[in-house]
Amino acid sequence: MEKTLNNKAWFLVAPMLILVAFSAVVPLMTVVNYSVQDTFGNNQFFWAGTQWFDELLQSERFWEALQRNLIFSLIILAIEVPLGILIALNMPKKGIWVPVCLVTMALPLLVPWNVVGTIWQVFGRNDIGLFGYYLNRIGIDYNYVQDPLDAWATVIIMDVWHWTSLVVLLCYAGLVSIPDAYYQAAKIDGASRFAVFRYIELPKMKRVLLIAVLLRFMDSFMIYTEPFVVTGGGPGNSTTFLSIDLVKMALGQFDLGPAAAMSLVYFLIILLLSWVFYTVMTSHDAET
């Protein structure tokens, strides 16, 4: 008996494909077009080939911004993932406090990015900000406007406050999905708390941890609004990440060709590093 194929489902998928084409593919092709051309205004373009890519890869400005991005993302992952796991482990699994804790954890995620930057811009001020004022009162010379180290610390603390909740909620979802039978067997065997975490909880959280690491890496590597609102990329260029540098080049200097080339390289770097993260973590999961 021959199986009847029904292709009518494509009519349901077609609107989504058209939407993706207009929202992603068409703008991407526009950026590719700008990256290989030069213009002197009046909508007149000239073929430039790989000129902008060659200049970008030889630019110290690009490599310094990329280095700052990588350092920031690694610091964020090193702080938020362990902290998120620790908080999730100590959250109640049953009772009235479960919804209270979940809502509390979700609150920072509901705050828009520009509002987060504004909050911490005021919070870190030495004159009216609680954070900056009391740090200086206890003898710590804190000024994120003038000191690069203070600016970095402010941006990192701000991101940890804003996004650790995402890691917490993902880890908590992985923990509550573990059947009670595992814990009962561990209790019978006399397993320590660390052994329960090492051999039961951590393996069961691998899937959600993979999602958490990928999401936090991509988001931290593309961070723009929060540090731009707080520091504007300063003092100097100390917090000028690739995203901030790209916006300055495209909108501030109006160098469309170099900005388009930089955005494509930026996109490929994110794609490559995300693929590396995913491959390493999934291959380790397959081995175990």
Model confidence pLDDT, tens digit, residues 54-78: 998 998 989 999 999 999 999 999 9
- For residues 242 and 65, the answer to whether their CB atoms sit within 8 Å is yes
Fold of 62-287: MetI-like fold (1.10.3720)
pLDDT greater than 90 at residue 2: no
pLDDT at 46: 80
Which letter does DSSP use for residue 77 in this model? H
Q: Tokens at residue 202, please?
A: 């951590």
pLDDT greater than 60 at residue 174: yes
Q: What is the arithmetic mean of pLDDT over 114-124?
A: 91
- For residues 203 and 113, the answer to whether their CB atoms sit within 8 Å is no
Cα 241 from chain centroid (whole Å): 13
Q: Which tens digits make up the pLDDT trace of 194-245?
A: 999 988 988 888 888 888 988 999 899 999 999 999 998 889 889 999 999 9
First-last CA distance in the chain = 43
What is the chain's mean pLDDT, rounded? 87
pLDDT band at 288 (very low <50, low <70, confident <90, very high): low
CA atoms within 13 A on the CB side of 57: 7
Percentage of the chain lying above the pLDDT 90 cut: 38
Percentage of the chain lying above the pLDDT 70 cut: 95
Candidates 156, 166, 185, 179; CA nearest to 76 is 156
Q: Could you write out the DSSP letters of every residue in 32-63?
A: HHHHTEEE-STT-EEE-TTHHHHHHHT-HHHH
Candidates 171, 30, 18; CA nearest to 102 is 171
Give residue limits of the domains in the chain.
62-287
**Which residue do the tokens 């996004």 mark?**
163
Give residue 257's identity as a one-letter amino acid code.
G
CA atoms within 13 A on the CB side of 221: 20
The CB density around residue 130, as the number of other CB atoms within 10 Å, is: 11
pLDDT greater than 60 at residue 1: no
Q: What is the arithmetic mean of pLDDT over 116-141?
A: 89
- Report the predicted TM-score, pTM, of the whole model to 2 decimal places: 0.86
Q: Which tens digits make up the pLDDT trace of 75-112?
A: 999 999 999 999 999 999 888 889 899 999 999 999 98
pLDDT at 162: 94
Which letter does DSSP use for residue 238 in this model? T
CA dihedral 94, 96, 102, 107 (to 10 degrees): -170
pLDDT greater than 60 at residue 287: no
- For residues 180 and 211, the answer to whether their CB atoms sit within 8 Å is no
Which residues, including other chains, have CB under 8 Å from residue 23's CB and lie 6 or more apart? Answer: none
